[in-house]
Amino acid sequence: MPGSHQAPAATRRLFFALWPAACTREQILQRRDSAGTISPRRVPAHNFHLTLLFLGNQPADRVDEILALGDAIENEAFDLVLDRWGHFDGPGVVWLGAEAPAACRTLVDKLTGRALDQGLQFQHRPFVPHLTLFRRVTGPWQAPPVEPIPWSVEEFSLIESIPQQPYQVLRTWPLQ
């Protein structure tokens, strides 16, 4: 029709992640606060997470399919130890990370494989197990020693990022 404009399709910004329990979240907050003023842009504690697969903007009408993707995943539980600081220069973030055990890498591979099988479009990134604590870090920074945080991972979640709001957990699945 001449002169008519079709509204853009609604999208939702989604990612699969590990969502720490309150006691783990508190320990992460303590480590973040012990790092000092690396940047005024501190990630709020209610948004702490470890991304397994970032899907980015997905059509809103595919959310049920994405939830079904999570429903189909079976994976064993695993333990992480958050014991190292890291920095991504490009986005200017400082993070607290861990070595990923085999069961964690398997979970990431299963999620990625099923997302590709469903034809979801997303940017492939190497998996680096980390929780972002600071954003817009510029210049050099000094990493303090890290008192390790043991994290017994027994579930994973699908999370939605909505601008100016805390992340929303859409569904959580148990690990065996």
Q: Is the pLDDT of residue 5 over 90?
A: no
pLDDT of residue 8: 58
Whether residue 87 lies in the annotated active site: no
Residues in Cβ contact with 67 at an 8 Å cutoff, skipping those fewer than 6 apart? 158, 170, 171
pTM of the model: 0.91
CATH dotted code for 12-174:
3.90.1140.10
46 labelled catalytic: no
Residue type, 19: W
pLDDT tens sequence across 131-157: 999 999 987 888 889 999 999 999 999
> Of 5, 46, 49, 124, which one is the catalytic site residue?
49
**Strand, helix or coil for residue 3:** coil
Domain ranges (residues) in the chain? 12-174
Catalytic residue among 46, 87, 124, 130: 130
In this prediction, residue 138 carries a pLDDT of 85
